[in-house]
Amino acid sequence: MTERRLLLVPPSLDGERADAALSKMLGMSRSASAELLLAGAVLSGTELVTKSQRVTSEQVLEVSIPDKRDPLAVEPTDVADLRIVYEDADLIVVDKPAGVAAHPSVGWTGPTVVGALMAKGVRISTSGAAERQGIVQRLDVGTSGLMMVAKTEVAYSRLKQAFRDRAVHKVYHAVIQGHPDPVEGTIDAPIGRHPKAEFKFAVMNDGKPSITHYKLLEAFASASLVEVVLETGRTHQIRVHFSAFKHPLLGDTMYGADPTLASRMQSERQWLHAMRLSFLHPMTGEQVSFESNYTEDLAQTLERLKGN
């Protein structure tokens, strides 16, 4: 069910950004209201309202709210195959399976890492937006592998700063279509929101600086296994960069992958796995490193590629 509400902007909110105004009028977090705006759930007349747009006094906003509740409420959900790799008093590292989001978002009704940790009784940092508390690093729903969550406020702050300082070493393995030339290199291309497709990103001249390093590990008849090291951490960065490089990830039809090849290889998601994660512990300063094996579906797809 979707609740539709008509909101009259009061004079006190005249000139406010739409995400801030909506947050105050609906009594939800600003990030939750921003997600509604990005999802196209807010109209002024027949026009979509953007999150940075300024509202005016007496303006009427039509808002569609799923489930008659904060669409980003965190629900405890048992995720049997979400594995805790490491845990101490300050942070937790999990091995996330595909099909699990990092945190709730508009339109997503499946399991989340935040909800899974809640179900396990793990208390995490209250820093960050309400629906993504403790999340300092995200992986796409369709991406498996390692990600970290802060358990204390100090750890959250220091880990976020480590990401800003590019002091967290993240290594991924991906299978891309075709064969990269050169076999080792760097993709340096800014990324921003796709101008026409909701929830997609693209290489844009006015996007945020984005740098991806890669090297070929193994070549197959129609695809290649590559190691990827991220220097920056933009949403969908690996997927966008390799798509722009004319080598989309196997199974990633959202970014131009050949569905026929994915079907032949029985690949039901993008072949992308967060393999290794290394960083300085936020409290002790000790270098810590973690590694994750391929999930069963990725390993099976890799065997089919080798056999092919």
- Domain C-terminal end among 164, 188, 209: 164
In the structure, what pLDDT confidence band is assigned to residue 214 with cuts at 50, 70 and 90? very high
301 with 178, same domain: the answer is: yes
Q: Residue 69 pLDDT > 80, yes or no?
A: no
- Domain C-terminal end among 139, 164, 189: 164
Whole-number Å distance between alpha carbons of 70 and 33: 9
Element (H, E) at 43: strand 42-44
Average pLDDT for 9-34: 86
97 with 40, same domain: the answer is: no
Among candidate residues 19, 90, 95, 140, the one labeled active-site is 140
pLDDT recorded at residue 176: 98
User: Is 14 annotated as catalytic?
Assistant: no
128 with 174, same domain: the answer is: no
11 with 142, same domain: the answer is: no
151 with 175, same domain: the answer is: no
Q: Are 102 and 108 in contact (CB under 8 A)?
A: no
Q: Are 225 and 301 in contact (CB under 8 A)?
A: no
* Residue 54 DSSP one-character state: B
159 with 172, same domain: the answer is: no
Domain count, the chain: 3
pTM for the predicted model, two decimal places:
0.76
89 with 190, same domain: the answer is: no
83 with 152, same domain: the answer is: yes
State which amino acid sits at residue 295. T
> Which residue would you say has higher pLDDT here, 199 or 69?
199
150 with 196, same domain: the answer is: no
- Domain C-terminal end among 140, 164, 188: 164
Average pLDDT for 238-252: 97
305 with 174, same domain: the answer is: yes
Q: Which domain holds residue 31?
A: 2-66
User: Two tokens at 174?
Assistant: 């991906």
Residue 201's domain is classified under what CATH number? Answer: 3.30.2350.10
Residue 47's domain is classified under what CATH number? Answer: 3.10.290.10
16 with 112, same domain: the answer is: no
Rg (CA), the chain: 21
Highest mean pLDDT among 70-84, 98-112, 154-168, 240-254: 240-254
Q: How far is CA 133 from CA 110, 182, 274, in A?
A: 18, 41, 21
154 with 76, same domain: the answer is: yes
